[in-house]
Structure 1
């Protein structure tokens, strides 16, 4: 078993070390790369480069393991760019790795600690909710190993959104994890019949493992539910795999930013008692494209800044739901929410002249200008800010099911105010001052 990530161990120490130790480290790093790195030719290039740097005395002035690890990591990246490849000074991690059953399989104490941390972080699931318009939203930040507890957490999250009309998976800040968790999450959005979506070739073992969607999952599947995946430049490793898989199978619309480019699962190797080298030992081979996202990242179907990706996905989902809906009762709340989402994506700014025209008394309602904002007062209630949705329609801060519309006459003068209700209908107030 190889890992997409490793938990951080105790703080590293920074002892000085000798020229002989530097020579030993350079040779050990070069050998580990040549024996294990997923691309043998690139491994040789990197090994030759750090050897040549050592011969050029590039590391002579580096006098601590910490700085040596940083300098060599930088040189390795110069020889071949790979975001997963990293040399680090971490004696605590070395000690942990020595307790593993094998070079790629953690021991029971490590597994117990991983499970404890996974449970405390709810297996990466930070938020599951139902958004207006009956859109499900799931935000999770890491793909933990698939334990029984993790399986139950996934099932609970999927059950919460099972009856929604569209689902948004938020991968914007997901740091990756295990391919088996990718497999589990993906399977909820496909039919029972397994689909081959990816293979992973492991160079040290010279094996290829195929991944298919699962024939069995706990709870309901959502094979026909509209699916959207949010991405950012921070979407990493296994999160990118899930995104790439769903995109290549045309099962989801990807919304956000291009992800980073690393596509290779990583295994840690002990260099000496101070240093650990994270080596990408395997590569994903997508069943559809026969390649992966290494070096390019996953390109979104709809490109938008990460902080607007959720709103954009909501807009896309609401438009799709409106296209498929013929019932006026179903369309009304969708149109209500879509109007709000569009205004958030492209905020409306009203100048002072327009605001001053709206200020006044409308029966039992008062509109005032304060600073650069309009405020709304209902009789006997506190003032609330009016936030423009269009140049004549406003939402009332803190009251999501009520809006205000300014109605003008043919000369552009405001003659009345309407309080619009979410389910339809309105109250009318003629302008009295």
Structure 2
């Protein structure tokens, strides 16, 4: 029997259910169809994690091979037929055949050559056992190269402040990149988060990734080595599967975040490694999950080559709670607070706001000043002239100070708002930071309001129970957040 090269799933970009429909007009001869089916049957029988189901799939494929085809088939139709046969036995989103073009794209992303030497095979097998938690993107065709994917894995991650009180570290993670570069990127990001009041990890569009990053990211939120989940991997040379415990390993930044409230946002698209991470943190009651039940990719997969340049992703392991045996294959990880994914961010901010308000214990006067400045922030970012006008005292003056210049110009803040100066700021970076310096005798107050590109130093007056702005010194600043 000819041996085919194993391609480990270090990087997965597409749900099998999406890329099996990739456009391909090539024809497959009857003999090649037979060869693909026979090798597919052999690999599934040998590797599939659920052995009874694997045998059923293999038997179904063997029946197809015996019936055979007397005519050529379109590649697309052939792949679709094979995947439907496999899925009719068991609906596994990690399982499926890919065409040669897609298989080569995976090889290119991994820096591998399909015609690798035989002595490299064993190294690949060992490597795959540590990097099988992968993901596929169900959003159509994604042919990005590896560098582009890695560069964008943390796109949008930053420190945000939406209520003027609370600094939040937002990690927007598209994949769990366990490469040296990926681990370094995460370390640099978390270093910039030191001192935040809460951390949100957005996994709503994260389709998976590497186990190494699952362990590494988990380690930032525990100050001691902590059990997360267990995995069963591929068969060894003795024909047995080894159970491995996955632990979060504390690092030099762990003490900075061990007591920081942690929220994880999920959706039905959150898959594989994203689910493993969420599952482990939830089991340890270390994070609050907000959003939808995840996709149910509790298996770990690896790619194997088939005749004619085709490839197949096969589930070769599974993730579960070693204490109960419970996993999330097919069922997904249920969020602690169930809400539509599109509303998860607003809900999470609401949870943080309520928690922080109770912690801070603002006195009544400061609370009212804060509310006025928060209303001004909303008016600034929405261009709401009418609301802003109601916050300003009749004798109000505003001045603009240009950095590195001694000239101070008088400006019309209401005109700036009416012209939409703040409204031009992209919604995702409409941050604000409110610092109330002093409230004197419940009559006057001084405060600072910092936007993305401006700092406002404000004086306020209590006008019959309503705090209004009486003067404003505006300075330009470097953009933040």
Say yes or no: TM over 0.5. yes
- Structure of greater relative contact order (alpha carbons < 8 Å, 6+ residues apart): 2
CA contact (8 A) 2:35 2:307 kept: no
CA-atom RMSD in angstroms: 4.2
> For the residues of structure 1 that align with 2:259 and 2:201, how far apart are their CA atoms?
15
What do residues 117-173 of structure 1 show as CA deviations (whole Å, max 9, x unaligned)?
3487337111232222112111121111231x3332111111111211111001111
> For the residues of structure 2 that align with 1:174 and 1:96, how far apart are their CA atoms?
27
Q: Please state if 1:6 is matched with 2:6.
A: no
Match of 1:274 in 2: 309
SS in 2 for 1:121: helix
> For the residues of structure 1 that align with 2:59 and 2:356, how far apart are their CA atoms?
57
Q: Please state if 1:122 is matched with 2:151.
A: yes
What do residues 167-196 of structure 1 show as CA deviations (whole Å, max 9, x unaligned)?
10011111211111100000000113x112
Q: Could you tell me which runs of 5 or more consecutive residues in structure 2 were left unpaired when the two chains were aligned.
A: 1-6, 132-144, 379-385, 397-411, 421-429, 435-446, 450-457, 461-466, 471-481
SS in 2 for 1:31: helix
How much has 1:328 moved relative to structure 2? Answer: 3.4
CA contact (8 A) 2:150 2:177 kept: no
How much has 1:272 moved relative to structure 2? Answer: 0.8
**In structure 2, which of residues 5, 18, 37 is the aligned counterpart of residue 26 of structure 1?**
37
CA contact (8 A) 2:282 2:289 kept: yes
Describe how 1:85-124 pairs up with structure 2 within 5 A: 85-90=95-100, 92=104, 96-99=113-116, 101-102=120-121, 105=124, 117-118=146-147, 121-122=150-151, 124=153
C-alpha change, 1:217 and 1:60, in structure 2 (3 Å) is farther
Q: Please state if 1:131 is matched with 2:151.
A: no
Match of 2:185 in 1: 153
C-alpha change, 1:28 and 1:104, in structure 2 (3 Å) is farther
**In structure 1, which of residues 15, 28, 36 is the aligned counterpart of residue 26 of structure 2?**
15
> For the residues of structure 2 that align with 1:177 and 1:143, how far apart are their CA atoms?
4
How much has 1:334 moved relative to structure 2? Answer: 12
C-alpha change, 1:90 and 1:334, in structure 2 (3 Å) is farther
Q: Please state if 1:207 is matched with 2:242.
A: yes
CA contact (8 A) 1:322 1:334 kept: no
How much has 1:332 moved relative to structure 2? Answer: 3.9
Q: Could you tell me which runs of 5 or more consecutive residues in structure 1 were left unpaired when the two chains were aligned.
A: 344-354, 366-376, 386-397, 403-419
SS in 2 for 1:83: coil
Match of 2:354 in 1: 319
Match of 2:468 in 1: 427
Q: Please state if 1:174 is matched with 2:206.
A: yes
What do residues 308-364 of structure 1 show as CA deviations (whole Å, max 9, x unaligned)?
211111111111112222343998499759988xx9xxxxxxxxxxx9xx99x9968
CA contact (8 A) 1:170 1:229 kept: yes
Describe how 1:341-360 pairs up with structure 2 within 5 A: none
What do residues 74-107 of structure 1 show as CA deviations (whole Å, max 9, x unaligned)?
2211111000001011153578343272167289
Match of 1:226 in 2: 261
> For the residues of structure 1 that align with 2:95 and 2:448, how far apart are their CA atoms?
56
> For the residues of structure 1 that align with 2:254 and 2:333, how far apart are their CA atoms?
30
SS in 1 for 2:27: coil
> For the residues of structure 1 that align with 2:329 and 2:74, how far apart are their CA atoms?
32
C-alpha change, 1:246 and 1:288, in structure 2 (3 Å) is farther
TM score, norm. by length of structure 1 = 0.72
